[in-house]
Structure 1
Amino acid sequence: MLTLFQMMVFSQTNPQTKYIDSLNNLFKKSPKDSSRVILLEKISLAYANHDPAKGLEYADKAYKLATDLNLKNRQAAAMAMMAVNHLAASNAEKGIEYNKKAIEIYKTLNNKKSLAAVYSNLSQIYLRQGNYDAALEYSFSALTVYDQSKEYRNKGIVLENIANIHYELKNLKKAKTYYMQVLEIFKSYGLKTDLARCMGNMSRVEMDIENYPKALEYLKKALEINQELGNKNSELINLTNIGNVYSKQKQNKKALTYMKRSLEMSEKLNMKNSIAVNRGNIGSIYLELYKESDQSDLTLLQNAIKNTEEAIRICDSIGFIAPKMEFSQILTEAYSLQRDYKKAFEALQEKTDLSDSLKTVEANQKLSILETERAKSLKEKDLVIKNKELEIIRLKSEKKTLFYSLIISILVITFAFVIRSFLQKQKKHNQILSEIKQIQSHDIRGPIASILGLTALLKERPAEDLSKNKLLEGIEELALKLDEIVIKITKNSSL
């Protein structure tokens, strides 16, 4: 049995005919400016869950008008609308492509708020693809923006997305922790619509741990809030999920009541994908009721076949492939119980073909993810290599600078040593000159003066004077002393 849950994509606007008509009337009267582009975006969004092909037409019109008016911000918003409609048409790859184009424009405009919204949408797409790493990466990118800007509602929505990812990873304890945190945020800020949606998602955890009373409690509270606020789309999702909980508990009559209420609302809103799911679920419940009975009431079996066939017909008309496999399984069993083995075989063959097709799609998606990861890895490696090259250049530059610094340091030290040696020698030289000067003024000039004096005396005395010999001895002694001094001067001067 298929379950519907409110996992945020871009918006939950109901594609009602009256609503679209009112937007078209406003569009006709609007001037050719940004307000007209915004109306085209709203119409595109209104068609998303109803007629994605039509939604794409309006998104394309919005983009062309935004381009003509040179409104970059609205160009990005139109790209995001294309992504929403491609995703609604089960074309996840195109959804990713257009969201990334929107991101590039928002980055150039430094529009962080819109960037965060697209990050959140990309997270949803990757979650559907089973690329949980990428889903978490984009969710946390969005969360960073909302943390900084203190946008508590958006922060709560992103935290809820993270909880959804952990739920898909079967980290139920972690998912529950995040959901409880989100419920507190929405309660404290009186955000009833968000609170109801989170309660609906929280019920999944309770269903998985088979705490069905608690799951019903969350769903019925959510239903009450959505009925109070008039959120029809969310209301029908709650009705479907309550029916699923009763079905899990084998309370098929109660389950059938809620499924029929959900179907009625889906038909009023003309939501074909929801109609298909509810028809298939009703067919499944009728089949269970028939098996529970004594199998004499063929009306139950006929209702099972009728509703399931209608579900498959609607799926074919809107290209809603995913649920068809389960519906084909229900039909196979129902035809077998009716003993229409030919139709049972055809239904089984349909299921097999669908299974092969989905496996091919899944394989292609996985291949695409792997290619993306490979490209990302190569870019990261290239970046690492470039960083290493820059590091090598930096180190070479530092090495060269260090070499020159070392040379300069050596030259400075050598120069300082030479100067110091020169100054020391200069000091010694000055000292020697001083000593020479002292020797000249005292040690040399004194003996010379004495010699001169003695010589004078010799000249005055007669030649036969007996003291002549003594005078000559004195002259000789002084001459020897003078000779020693000269030797000393010569020796000091050679140093």
Structure 2
Amino acid sequence: MKIIFLRPCLYFIALLLTFISVKAAPIMGNDTNEVKKINRQAFDNRLTNPKQTIIQARKALALAEKLEFSKGVAEANRELGIGYYYINQPDSAIQYYLTAKKFYDDTHDLKGQSRVLNNIGNLYRETDYDQAIVYFKEALNVAKALKDDDLVATCYLNLGTAYLKKKSYTIALDDYKQSYDLFTKTKNDVLIIQCLQNLGVIYYEKHELDTAKALLLQANQRAIERDLNSTVAGTNITLVRIFLAQGQFEQAKQYYNQGQTYVDILKTDRMQHDYKFLRYEMLFKLKDYKGALENLRDIYKQDSTSYIQNESVRLTLREAGYKQNEQDQKNLQIIAQQKYSRTLFIASSIVAALLAVVIFLLVNNVNRKAKINKHLTELNEQISEQKENLNQINHHLEEIIDERTKDLQVKNKKLADYSLHLSHQIRGPIATLKGLLNLERDKLIEQEECIKLMNKCVSDIDENIIDMSGMLHESSKVKPNTKA
């Protein structure tokens, strides 16, 4: 009865433990290389075709979520933020960056954290320089802790751009030079080109036009060779302004048209806006619409200041909203975790109770078996003892049988001897009697003599019988030599 109850208990415990393990440890996919590959392709397209970056990042995100690959999900969100940054949609960019940061924080991916901090800083770089610097310095500290030269160089590059916006040219120039040296060491050609462009912009702001032009032309040529559309368009803006400042109008038109071609490919609002303003600058130089351009420039600056302020506030609000939403999600997760913990506790309690029952039954069963084994052992000992006694009795009986067999053989021999003796002793007198009878019949012997001789023969026969009877009687009184 106990064994019948024990089996379903064990089956139930096995099923319950399987359920708990499935809940506690979801199955992870193994094919994550494809996610990494698509994310790399998305990143490589950021300066060439940012819309393609978004398409590929969405594909990587879907696959990473299917595989439950947290690092892949984080990187895909970061790539989506980069794509939206380059097409000038900062609201979407900040959303994806913050999502990526959460996944990097959860997986303790320091390199990913540094990268996404750089990306968030880039969003603030156009609207809130000080906030951008905070993010860039935080990213730099993480990169230095990792001793990742390429990542440190990226942080210096971004810091230089932020200080450039603040017109802190000396600090910006120092950061750019450190970035350039590190990128040269790591052989990162794409970001070396970016450094050349930024150095050219600094020298332009410092009115060192020849130095600026040389750096920008080098960056422009190398960007064209690598199909870096965004970089080509960006370098051409400063080159057009340099040519206009030096009175080289044909070259200014040439690089403006070249840059506009790349802008048409990129189709980003920010770059299109910059080229519209650049066109007014160029027309101002060529056609002398001084008053109109001055008014247009003032309006643009006013609108730009308002845009920057609104953009900064919107980004700050979006970040605060995301953090609040993240906190709400954490609270929900805590509640869900508490609920799950209670369920797990109840399940564990049930398992513990069932295990206690099983252990009790097993211990009871073991004790019962021990008692049975002890009793069987005692019975075996008794049987062994009885068997030994039987063996001794059998051996004793065999000895008795052997002795009695020998005694019978002796008696049989004596009987045979007695029979032979009797036959010999009796046959003689009987033969004499027969002879006497024959003689008497033939009247050859006197009757009186015959009777006398016959009496003698009968006496001899009687004596022999008595002797034989005495001998047999004495042999029967001899006791066999037994051990009984």
Under a length normalisation based on structure 1, what TM-score does the superposition of the two structures give? 0.50
Corresponding residue for residue 289 of structure 1: 286
| Distance of 2:249 and 2:116 partners within structure 1 | 41
| Distance of 2:57 and 2:38 partners within structure 1 | 7
- Whether the 8 Å CA contact 1:256–1:282 is kept in 2: the answer is no
**Which of 204, 214, 217 lines up with 1:220 in the alignment?**
217
1:152 maps onto 2:99 in alignment: no
- RMSD (Å), alpha carbons: 4.1
Q: Which has the larger radius of gyration?
A: 2
Give how far 1:366 is off. 2.8
- Whether the 8 Å CA contact 1:199–1:219 is kept in 2: the answer is yes
| Distance of 1:230 and 1:371 partners within structure 2 | 34
Give how far 1:99 is off. 1.3
Give how far 1:65 is off. 2.8
- Whether the 8 Å CA contact 1:43–1:55 is kept in 2: the answer is yes
Give how far 1:198 is off. 0.8
* Segment of structure 1 superposing worse, 217-226 or 148-157: 217-226
What is the identity, as a one-letter code, of the residue corresponding to 2:115?
A: A
**Which of 234, 238, 257 lines up with 1:237 in the alignment?**
234
Give how far 1:232 is off. 5.0
Inter-CA distance 125–147: structure 2 relative to 1 (3 Å threshold): same
1:421-460 matched pairs, under 5 angstroms: none
1 or 2 for the larger relative contact order (CA 8 Å, sep ≥6)?
Answer: 2
Give how far 1:201 is off. 0.4
Give how far 1:363 is off. 3.4
| Distance of 1:147 and 1:243 partners within structure 2 | 38
1:109-258 matched pairs, under 5 angstroms: 109-130=107-128, 132-227=129-224, 229=226, 231=228, 233-258=230-255
Deviations 1:118-172 (A, max 9, x none): 1111111121221x33322221222223223322122111111111111111111
| Distance of 1:190 and 1:368 partners within structure 2 | 34
Give how far 1:213 is off. 1.4
Deviations 1:304-337 (A, max 9, x none): xxxxxxxxxxxxxxxxxxxxxxxxx76997xxxx
Corresponding residue for residue 310 of structure 2: 363
- Whether the 8 Å CA contact 1:200–1:219 is kept in 2: the answer is yes
Inter-CA distance 40–359: structure 2 relative to 1 (3 Å threshold): same
| Distance of 2:318 and 2:262 partners within structure 1 | 43
Inter-CA distance 330–38: structure 2 relative to 1 (3 Å threshold): farther
1:25-424 matched pairs, under 5 angstroms: 33-38=31-36, 41=39, 56=54, 59-130=57-128, 132-227=129-224, 229=226, 231=228, 233-267=230-264, 269=265, 271=267, 274=271, 277-278=274-275, 281-282=278-279, 284-291=281-288, 359=306, 362-363=309-310, 365-366=312-313, 369=316
Give how far 1:270 is off. 5.4
| Distance of 2:192 and 2:173 partners within structure 1 | 15
Corresponding residue for residue 17 of structure 1: none
What is the identity, as a one-letter code, of the residue corresponding to 1:362?
A: Q
Deviations 1:201-253 (A, max 9, x none): 01222111212112112112323443555545434433343122112334322
- Whether the 8 Å CA contact 1:260–1:282 is kept in 2: the answer is no
Runs (5+) with no aligned partner, structure 1: 1-30, 294-328, 334-347, 377-495
Under a length normalisation based on structure 2, what TM-score does the superposition of the two structures give? 0.51
- Whether the 8 Å CA contact 1:252–1:289 is kept in 2: the answer is yes
- Whether the 8 Å CA contact 2:126–2:308 is kept in 1: the answer is no
| Distance of 2:281 and 2:317 partners within structure 1 | 37
What is the identity, as a one-letter code, of the residue corresponding to 1:366?
A: V
| Distance of 1:125 and 1:374 partners within structure 2 | 16
Give how far 1:82 is off. 2.8
Inter-CA distance 367–221: structure 2 relative to 1 (3 Å threshold): closer
- Whether the 8 Å CA contact 1:139–1:162 is kept in 2: the answer is yes
Corresponding residue for residue 439 of structure 1: none
| Distance of 2:149 and 2:48 partners within structure 1 | 31
Runs (5+) with no aligned partner, structure 2: 1-28, 324-484
| Distance of 1:216 and 1:249 partners within structure 2 | 11
| Distance of 1:217 and 1:249 partners within structure 2 | 14
What is the identity, as a one-letter code, of the residue corresponding to 2:67?
A: L
| Distance of 2:311 and 2:231 partners within structure 1 | 33
Give how far 1:69 is off. 1.3
**What SS does the aligned partner of 1:170 have?**
coil
Give how far 1:92 is off. 2.2
| Distance of 2:108 and 2:97 partners within structure 1 | 16
How many residue pairs match? The answer is 293
**What SS does the aligned partner of 2:126 have?**
helix
Inter-CA distance 362–288: structure 2 relative to 1 (3 Å threshold): same
